[in-house]
Chains A and B, each alone.
Chain A
Amino acid sequence: GENVEQHPSTLSVQEGDSAVIKCTYSDSASNYFPWYKQELGKGPQLIIDIRSNVGEKKDQRIAVTLNKTAKHFSLHITETQPEDSAVYFCAASRGNQFYFGTGTSLTVIP
């Protein structure tokens, strides 16, 4: 089955700096890669996703890149704000089943 690895597990950045979270996956048939943000006491919420026919996608301060050959994808958050502080999960899927990474706890220091 699919195995998704995520790094780093914790990340602290100064407000205004960029944050990068990286994930690798093992199943070359995976074709959908969502990123979720989870705030304390809430369920994961989708912030951006990318499909395997696209190399990069951007939505305001958030971007995701996908390298299918290397089987890795990354989340980039620019101009970080304190409200970006949360746990971020990457996931990979080729069917209905999502395989999640272990999560990255992002802290943005004001």
Chain B
Amino acid sequence: EPEVTQTPSHQVTQMGQEVILRCVPISNHLYFYWYRQILGQKVEFLVSFYNNEISEKSEIFDDQFSVERPDGSNFTLKIRSTKLEDSAMYFCASSVGGVGNEQFFGPGTRLTVL
């Protein structure tokens, strides 16, 4: 069964450093998402991406964040200058369609900012 994959599974970085989290969505999916889950808290929406542009973003997704689909298969989340409060589990998801379609989630990348 096709699945969303994410790398790395765990990333440790120093505050102020840039990190890139990588995702490979399911191959025939057209919509891509990033969510984060701070330990013990809700899963929170960050951004959705369709047709090579951001379609929706939350207030969490500020100028420190960017997304890219660099090569037609990968979908990346970049955090330019990490802060301690960026420590969280980051989930990538993809779906065939947009509104009202099932989103398939990857296993997540645990980001630890020291």
Interface size on A, residues (CB 8 A): 26
Give the CA-CA distance A33 to B64 in the complex, in Å. Answer: 31
Q: Which of A32, A43, A46, A103 contacts B100 (CB 8 A)?
A: A32
Is B43 a contact of A44 with CB atoms below 8 Å?
yes
A49 shortest CB reach to chain B, Å: 7
Is A45 a contact of B33 with CB atoms below 8 Å?
no
Interface size on B, residues (CB 8 A): 27
Known contacts A43-B106, A43-B108, A44-B105; A96/B42 CB under 8 A: no
Map CB proximity to A onto B101-114 as digits: 1 under 8 Å, 0 otherwise.
01111111000000
What are 19 residue pairs bridging A and B, where the CB atoms are less than 8 Å apart in the complex? A34-B103, A42-B107, A43-B6, A43-B105, A43-B107, A44-B91, A45-B105, A46-B103, A89-B43, A91-B43, A93-B99, A93-B100, A95-B56, A96-B31, A97-B45, A98-B43, A98-B103, A102-B41, A103-B42
